[in-house]
Structure 1
């Protein structure tokens, strides 16, 4: 086992999957003091991206700078942070971890893309020693988007842009987001719905998860007199798309769970009763909620785009809303006959299997090339199948 270095973690958005990620990493250390975490609450993401570097530069202890590794998520403008704290710029290895990238984030209708978010991430990559993405899709979409993104600049674009992109590519690697499946209880063999199709949508209530598509699909099912139940879960924030209020009224007879589950146990219990987990996302770089739902035995239906083709076999993907409706109609005929067990390679993202890769990352050791490129090494491709319902 590699020995961990002393690590400074800076997380400006400490909530949701960002918090889950860090809480997974912290137990790597026998001595908790090997890690020092500075964080900010997961609120107002846009302001965290704009201003967290200044705040963090003030609160990180100036007397405690003997770190070997600086580890930050891409919400932090690393270049700005290090310019404000040149003492921390001397840390030997600076790692930026991308849960998402702003270069391909879908903008809402009638809004212009805010150039600054993506530009901050580009600068962070230039000053980082290692750039880590949570999926191949995240990495590839970021690298391919840099050049067209910077064409938004009216003039004085960097003359050596190809060299800059190449330098980022050379220090980039992929480490899948680690999920502790051992903490996910498998209760579904006793509680799965067997008569009326139960659909679950486990996503944030924001435009990038495309709730309009979800409700079009459900409205179509209802218009065709297809019997179903639905649980619309996920966290909501201060600005909730108006479609949710409309849908709550139109689907009042079908809704059995509505809103965020504060209890993880309650959340898993709902997953254990559902037949299908549905995604309609137009923005997804990993998809923890869909993977957890699938592990709990929900048949995943996902759009054939974004990260999903990387993590799920083709028969779980749909090309159009019409195709998705057709699949749901078939499942509604007899929920008990939905194909089980699921053939998804959960082990590629299971903490038990990829823990050593993170140990190597945080021990300043090189990762094996197969892990960096595509997670194709044999110990990452074993299937962890979900038990078939009885």
Structure 2
């Protein structure tokens, strides 16, 4: 085996990446630790891998995520120091949001900096991730009382590049409702521009006093007009912690209320408070809508989830993690709008999966999102988010007819992170199609003209 794939937190996007690489690398061996107790994995994974990895003269490349303290592993296993060491950042701890500055544990960011110093190549899943990490190094070390190191960012930057996360999209055609099937590639560009303009016009549609039209002011004769919120019968599954859903059978598909999905981890850095507060505002203002809350839960779930489950019960379509990938994709395909309220996002796999399933994205105008999504899908303030959703509740048909542009590059394909800032271009790649992502990973593992990855094909697995 010539390639070592190590993952100290084998879950979520970390697992997706390792599994995808393992399926495409011809000559590799993988060692992982389960995705639980993240802090303990970051502290102690090097000791585990020191004992788990057998010595072998055939190893040539070592690839690991930044959860592992690579400096510790190389010190404990000097034989691994001779390998080409590739460090991949799904996220960085220098800018991870904490409630109070004193809550930030210096050790985790420090470990990542040490790992960069011993790595040969440092890859990030976005330009935002890379630049936020490198630019934060000087201020991060100012928290040291004295004898601070200098210019570490300048030592690390030449090793850095961006390799966007290589999502393997599933074929979701069988789950798509009719209106989404009609929006798949093949629709004329002129029609799409017209629909996009209608969405923008609707957001700006106001009364003479400047407020948005409310649901009650929409003509009831319009098939897209929303009625005032009705009390729905909620069928809660009895299993503890399981999802429950309401079945709005009284609404035909063409006139059903807007469906919103929030498919993120149930943790404070995804700002669930903003999402649920927005849902409560829509309810209080009389708009008709349903929403799904998906995503994984861990040990500590913010209190807002239990509160929102009670206060918004009549609007809940799905509640809870869907362990079946097919059930998850089906839920995304049935939604109209996907919302991110994140305070911490370096790539956003869940958002891109939802867009692949035909959802209209609404994201903060911050973090990685401007790098991936055009400006029309971004909001700057909580009130802007609420107004956009109010408009979509009023005219859900416009959102359902909209064909989402999945990147800033007009020639883009199914996964299209946007072009990096001009000053970052020498470090960033701007891949368009999925096979270009695969090709980047294939080239990354090369050394002395030899390759370990299978050559990527030009076929896409997406719908």
Alignment of 1:1-390 (within 5 A): 6-29=2-25, 31=26, 34-62=27-55, 64-91=56-83, 93-109=84-100, 112-158=103-149, 161-162=150-151, 164-185=152-173, 187-190=175-178, 194=254, 195-338=256-399, 340-345=402-407, 346-348=414-416, 350-364=433-447
Shift of 1:108: 2.4
Instruction: Assess if the C-alpha contact under 8 Å between 2:177 and 2:334 holds in 1.
Output: no
RMSD: 1.9
Q: Cα 1:111–1:154, aligned 2, differ >3 Å: closer, same or farther?
A: closer
Q: Cα 1:184–1:170, aligned 2, differ >3 Å: closer, same or farther?
A: farther
Q: Which sits farther off after the overlay, 19-28 or 232-241?
A: 19-28
Question: Per-residue CA shift, 1:30-59, capped at 9, x if unaligned?
Answer: x3xx11101000001111111111111111
**What is the distance in 1 between the residues matched to 2:353 and 2:62?**
30
Which sections of structure 1, spanning at least 5 residues, go unmatched? 367-383
- Give the match's secondary structure for 1:247: helix
Task: Give the match for residue 235 of structure 2.
Answer: none
Instruction: Assess if the C-alpha contact under 8 Å between 1:178 and 1:350 holds in 2.
Output: no
- Give the match's secondary structure for 1:138: helix
Instruction: Give the aligned length.
Output: 357
Compute the TM-score of the two structures, normalised by the length of structure 2. Answer: 0.74
Instruction: Assess if the C-alpha contact under 8 Å between 1:231 and 1:255 holds in 2.
Output: yes
- Give the match's secondary structure for 2:78: coil
Compute the TM-score of the two structures, normalised by the length of structure 1. Answer: 0.88
**What is the distance in 2 between the residues matched to 1:17 and 1:350?**
19
**What is the distance in 2 between the residues matched to 1:184 and 1:288?**
16
**What is the distance in 2 between the residues matched to 1:69 and 1:330?**
52
**What is the distance in 1 between the residues matched to 2:141 and 2:98?**
17
Shift of 1:188: 2.2
Which sections of structure 2, spanning at least 5 residues, go unmatched? 181-252, 408-413, 417-431, 450-459
Q: Cα 1:248–1:83, aligned 2, differ >3 Å: closer, same or farther?
A: same
Shift of 1:103: 0.2
